[in-house]
Amino acid sequence: MQSLWDDDEAAQCRGDLELRVYTSRLLGRDKTLVLHGGGNTSVKVVQQNLFGEDESVLYIKGSGWDLETMEAAGFAPVQLDYLLRLTQLDALSDTQMVNQLATHMLTSSAPAPSVETILHACLPHKFVDHTHADAVLAISNTPDGERRMRELYGDAVVIIPYVMPGFDLARLCAREYPRQAGANTIGMVLLRHGLFSFGDSARQSYERMIDLVARAEDYLKRERAWDVPARAVSPARIDMLQQAQLRRTLSVAAGAPMIMATHADAEALAFAQRADLGTLSQQGPVTPDHIIRTKRVPMLGTDAHAYARGYQAYFDEHAPRAKEPKTMLDPAPRVVLDPGFGLAAAGRSAKDAAIVAELYRHSMQVMQRAQALGGYCALPARDLFEVEYWDLEQAKLRKTGTPAPFLGEIALVTGAASGIGRACVDALLARGAAVVGLDINPAVETIYRRRDFLGLRCDLTGEHAIGLALERAVLAYGGLDMLVLNAGIFAASRKISELATEEWRKVMAINLDANLFLLRACHPLLKLAPGGGRVVVIGSKNVPAPGPGAAAYSASKAALNQLARVAALEWGADGIRINSIHPNAVFDTGIWTDEVLAQRAKHYGLTVDEYKTNNVLKTEVRSRDVAELAAEMCGPLFAKTTAAQVPVDGGNERVI
């Protein structure tokens, strides 16, 4: 491990707080030190209050901030002298501690101070850094971790036994640090938790952290426990429907839909195919911070219901001993390991699932290094239970607001690169869904760069291409809940007597056949949707009221409408509902080129502007209008509606 300190960059910082921000970001850039909001940093300063008096203040990283993207606004300023008085108390409940921290901040708009604020305050150093360094955890999480730590660091660090984060840990550190620290002390190890470093300057504290972690890495190398040996890996065996069934099982156990990403790379497969996986993976997380972020210890195999029953039994056994009632967190695993598919990471959103996967990849490294060093040894089950049902975590649950309606669900939209399809993607993303967008236009792959969108170039007239796209969708998100059939073409206006067979067949292939292929391929996935499958067909006004010169388009949309009605009859028993929208004159779409628009306006003897608002309400219908209704049809308002046909046309006299 190397220091990332740069003199030129540091020279741009003005004052201690900006230097604190700078070194916090340096720590955050190294994922072997901190991950996704883990770890924290602080600085003690003296500043004047409104009365011109000097006041000692602790600036500590606030909750919800990530070290990698830290800013000055992310630090909570707390009165230092008051924090030091708190360390003298014999006891302080978590709720009392949170209240005392909040009521002694100097800025009301600052984020909530870290739960380790009092611990930072009691360390007699200006700058304090705290990480969950992988190398340190690998040594600490062994049966003789304390002995190894003392052998490695000597009097350079203070060793603190595991205590759950909060006031009790701060009070223990306040007592033990003065007793153990000496002239050579530059850090503190919290066994099975993390590493502290400190100093008189931001650079000193940061580089002491780098030095201590580098020593741990060198120790692992000397003990031949650093490099995870390459293993022969059997090829992945992934069945799309089995993954969708697993995602459904996890969702049922969680009590809400879940996103599940499957990772079948060599690293994941090698870990999942270990002979000792049953004991190695089932002990628990490498640090209590990881269980807070993943909400569940990993699970072996794919029987999530059995796991849920086992955890519920553990909860029933231990919960009555608690002083206050606890809210039962969902019993669904967030990590599933299987020698066939590798690693599946689940979360309430695509971002959550990605965080779980990254956390567990680091855990895999730690566990395997610890195993090579002397055997991986996690916290006892009781300690894990106490962290997971911690009062502060309970408070977070109680504060959780109403989630987005489609959080944890997956939608597939065809013709997603533009027009109504693009608007449907936006509407579904805004409601919390993860969205797979298909389009023959390669631009679909780059319209968004975010974890909850997967754009795939796909020729929908090819059944094989559709199958490959669905496999990628299931690997990325775990299944399918909603399908929006939007892709289509509108050929140039042509009388039947002039309609070429090839043109007819092209329109039918895209507007009808491709949708049959999609419906047929998606049906088994939609059956497994935790909240029931939903299909929305983007039809056309031409279904109830065809226009001259649009024979191929009108016939294809009418046939698609009938296909949807039959599917509604056949799939109702599977909990799948299918509804249709019939838009008209939506001109901000790909099929309405300037040439086609001019042709149709001329055909009716209207100007282009007159043609755009040629409806009862004299209003222009846009893609977003159609998309919002499509999204609502997938929501609870239409939970008991299937085979409906709803116009979005401003009112058409021929339809009315």
Over 50: is that where the pLDDT of 466 sits?
yes
Residue of 219, 360, 376, 553 with catalytic role = 553
Residue 428 in tokens: 């579904």
Nearest-CA neighbor of 589 among 466, 439, 481, 483? Answer: 439
How many angstroms from the chain centroid is the CA of residue 139? 30
* 235 domain-assigned: no
CA dist 619 and 623 (Å) reads 13
CA dist 530 and 536 (Å) reads 18
Output 567-575 pairs: Cβ under 8 A, ≥24 positions apart.
567/519, 567/535, 568/642, 568/643, 569/643, 571/523, 571/526, 571/533, 572/642, 574/523, 574/526, 574/527, 574/533, 575/527, 575/529, 575/532, 575/533
**454 and 531 assigned to the same domain:** yes
Q: Do the beta carbons of residue 571 and residue 528 sit within 8 Å?
A: no
**53 and 184 assigned to the same domain:** yes
419: left (phi over 0), alpha (psi -120 to 50) or beta: left
CA dist 641 and 535 (Å) reads 11
* 401 domain-assigned: no
Residue partners of 131: CB distance under 8 A and separation at least 6: 27, 33, 34, 38, 39, 194, 195, 209, 213
* 603 domain-assigned: no
Give residue 352's pLDDT band: very low, low, confident or very high (50, 70, 90).
very high
CA dist 242 and 314 (Å) reads 28
Give residue 12's pLDDT band: very low, low, confident or very high (50, 70, 90).
very high
**422 and 471 assigned to the same domain:** yes
What percentage of the chain has pLDDT greater than the value 90?
A: 77
Over 80: is that where the pLDDT of 36 sits?
no
- Mean per-residue pLDDT, 422-433: 98
**361 and 465 assigned to the same domain:** no
Over 80: is that where the pLDDT of 309 sits?
no
Residue 504 in tokens: 């007819």
What pLDDT is stored for residue 603 in this prediction? 87
- Alpha-carbon separation of residue 200 from 126, 127, 205, 210, 517 (angstroms): 5, 6, 7, 16, 67
Nearest-CA neighbor of 381 among 299, 475, 284, 301? Answer: 284
What is the rounded radius of gyration, in angstroms, for the C-alpha atoms of the chain? 30
SS3 211: helix
Residue 484: φ, ψ to 5°? -115, 110
- Alpha-carbon separation of residue 470 from 241, 359, 391, 513, 523 (angstroms): 10, 27, 42, 17, 11
Nearest-CA neighbor of 327 among 258, 276, 273, 398? Answer: 398
Over 80: is that where the pLDDT of 320 sits?
no
**521 and 423 assigned to the same domain:** yes
Least confident of 76-85, 232-241, 322-331, 394-403: 322-331
Output 51-59 pairs: Cβ under 8 A, ≥24 positions apart.
55/79, 55/81, 56/80, 56/81, 57/106, 58/83, 58/117, 58/120, 58/121, 59/17, 59/20
Over 90: is that where the pLDDT of 41 sits?
yes
Q: Decide if 553 is catalytic.
A: yes
How many angstroms from the chain centroid is the CA of residue 240? 21
Nearest-CA neighbor of 84 among 110, 57, 45? Answer: 57
End of a domain among 187, 222, 257?
A: 222
Residue 580's DSSP bridge partners are: 537, 645
3-state DSSP: the chain helix, strand, coil percent, rounded to 5? 45, 15, 40
Angle between helices 94-103 and 391-399 (to 10 degrees): 70
CATH number of the domain that 174 lies in? 3.40.225.10
* 366 domain-assigned: yes
Q: In what helix (H) or strand (E) does residue 154 lie, and over which residues does it extend?
A: none
Neighbours of 450 (CB within 10 A): 11
Residue partners of 647: CB distance under 8 A and separation at least 6: 541, 544, 581, 582, 583, 584, 655
Least confident of 153-157, 290-294, 307-311, 379-383: 307-311
Express each pLDDT in 191-219 by its tens digit: 999 999 999 999 999 999 999 999 999 99
Q: Which amino acid is at 85?
A: R
**372 and 283 assigned to the same domain:** yes
Over 90: is that where the pLDDT of 505 sits?
yes
β-pair type (434-439, 187-190): unpaired
Q: In what order do the strands lie in the sheet with 40-48?
A: 75-79, 54-61, 40-48, 127-131, 194-199, 187-190, 157-160
**288 and 431 assigned to the same domain:** no
Residue 122 in tokens: 């009691």
CA dist 146 and 377 (Å) reads 12
Over 70: is that where the pLDDT of 410 sits?
yes
Q: Domain tally for the chain?
A: 3
CA dist 51 and 47 (Å) reads 11
End of a domain among 189, 222, 255?
A: 222
What pLDDT is stored for residue 97 in this prediction? 93
What pLDDT is stored for residue 490 in this prediction? 85
* 405 domain-assigned: no
Looking at 431-532, list the stretches that DSSP marks H as alpha helix, in order from N- to C-terminal side: 463-477, 501-508, 514-527
Express each pLDDT in 65-80 by its tens digit: 999 999 999 999 999 9
Express each pLDDT in 604-635 by its tens digit: 899 989 989 999 999 999 999 999 999 999 99
Residue with tokens 């996103």: 259
Q: Which amino acid is at 301?
A: G
- Mean per-residue pLDDT, 159-180: 93
SS3 278: helix
**154 and 58 assigned to the same domain:** yes
What percentage of the chain has pLDDT greater than the value 70?
A: 90
Q: Do the beta carbons of residue 379 and residue 284 sit within 8 Å?
A: yes
DSSP string, 371-405: HHHT------HHHHHHHHT-HHHHHHHHH--PPPT
What pLDDT is stored for residue 294 in this prediction? 47
Half-sphere exposure of 546 (CA within 13 A, CB side): 16
CA dist 553 and 560 (Å) reads 11
Q: Do the beta carbons of residue 60 and residue 38 sit within 8 Å?
A: no
Tell me, what DSSP letter sits at residue 57?
E
Over 50: is that where the pLDDT of 307 sits?
no
**26 and 173 assigned to the same domain:** yes
**554 and 515 assigned to the same domain:** yes
**206 and 63 assigned to the same domain:** yes
**217 and 287 assigned to the same domain:** no
Four-point Cα dihedral 435, 441, 443, 449, nearest 10? 20
* 576 domain-assigned: yes
Neighbours of 547 (CB within 10 A): 17
> What is the chain's mean pLDDT, rounded?
90
* 608 domain-assigned: no
- Mean per-residue pLDDT, 540-568: 96
Over 50: is that where the pLDDT of 326 sits?
no
Task: Print the domain residue range for 84.
Answer: 7-222
Task: Return the exposure string of 598-632: e unless at least 16 CB atoms fall within 10 Å of the residue's CB, then b.
Answer: eebbeeeeeeeeebbebbeeeebbbbbbbbbbbbb
CATH number of the domain that 553 lies in? 3.40.50.720
End of a domain among 396, 423, 438?
A: 396
- Give a three-class secondary structure readout of 332-373: CCCEEEECCCEEEEEECCHHHHHHHHHHHHHHHHHHHHHHHH
Q: Do the beta carbons of residue 64 and residue 36 sit within 8 Å?
A: no
* 498 domain-assigned: yes
Least confident of 25-34, 50-59, 392-401: 392-401
